[in-house]
Structure 1
């Protein structure tokens, strides 16, 4: 049986030179742009002439995206949007590494990157004594960083985690679930609070402008009517 999501060693094709074909719409796995690229390299069946594989060039970042004979995209697009306001460079680096691991089906590596991220989030909050992901999740629950609606899902993930001393191979579904959960936590801890602060600050500035403008208009009206000399 051939491994799933892998190229067959029995595929015989003829690769053409860089050319133009039917536009293919996809989300670039490198720059996350939604593109419709017609420029690339195309592989045909030498007997039937059928188009089997292709390598499309993103017209924004100029990087190649490969589509195999099953239509699978390599690297696949990121499953999440970029997270704003993460100030810890180690967390940013690990999150990017986890995403790249998922893109090449390195599920166990992605899973352990996410476990480390959750610990670092707690240390960013001054909890330097936390050494395990289970302790990290306990802290995030108890401190209110995880809202009540997510407690049950958090505990389910927590129970399914292997002990820190046990390194087991993680499945695609396990790693993707933890990656998406980690994405939610980072948005709750970093992105949402800072975004709200910025919105509130902008609202205060807008209110101040309205107040100043209104007061200025009142003075001008009085000057025009001769009330102020």
Structure 2
């Protein structure tokens, strides 16, 4: 992706909402407007030098679009649908679609459960119980899942919108759950050496 005639801008540090890279960029575009009869700069578009994609900063509202990606990638997720849904939840958060982000996290519990052997077509409570009964939820972690379930249910069945703080909390819980189920076991498999054969007497 090439940006023709990008200009030098005041250097700005930010976390790219596309690739998640933390960077300082001084390359992009500015938007001129009028305020109180004065010509002013009302926005900047900075170009990430990692993924080459643009991020818009509104001078007056102080907002970044897309917003910074929350959390980090989780390694060793074997099911493509689970990984895609987690990334979708983070993408929704980055564009301020907080209710959608929470609903994605709720659906993610169902996807994880089915990916780990639960039968499809069950009720939501059955999926949560499956994860708990089969030790996919860490000790004292049931309250994380209950938070995801509760806020997800409210987002799914009530008119109210979920807040940025609620979506961020649920995403953090979801990431921790995915790390417990997938990343930790994957790391252990990478580092385990073959067992030394036992000597026969």
Please state which band the TM-score falls in when normalised by the shorter chain. 0.7 to 0.9
Query: 2:56 matched to 1:59?
Result: no
Which structure shows the higher helix fraction?
1
Greater relative CO (CA pairs within 8 A, separation 6+):
2
* Per-residue deviation, residues 37-79 of structure 1 (Å, max 9, x unmatched): 1011112454545433111011121100011122211111211
Q: Which of 10, 15, 19 is equivalent to 1:22?
A: 10
TM-score under structure 1 normalisation?
0.71
Contact 2:92 2:98 in 1 (8 A): yes
Aligned residue number for residue 27 of structure 2: 39
Cα deviation, residue 28, structure 1: 0.8
Cα deviation, residue 194, structure 1: 1.0
TM-score under structure 2 normalisation?
0.80
Cα deviation, residue 190, structure 1: 0.9
Aligned residue number for residue 182 of structure 1: 174
What is the CA–CA distance in structure 2 between the aligned matches of 1:24 and 1:165, rounded to whole Å?
38
Aligned residue number for residue 146 of structure 2: 155
**1:47-86 matches, cutoff 5 A:** 47-69=37-59, 70-86=61-77
Across the aligned residues of Structure 1 and Structure 2, the Cα RMSD in angstroms comes to: 2.8
Which structure shows the higher strand fraction?
2
Query: What count of residue pairs does the alignment treat as equivalent?
Result: 189
Q: Which runs of 5+ in 1 are unaligned?
A: 1-16, 208-229
* 1:26 match: secondary structure: strand
Q: Which runs of 5+ in 2 are unaligned?
A: 197-201
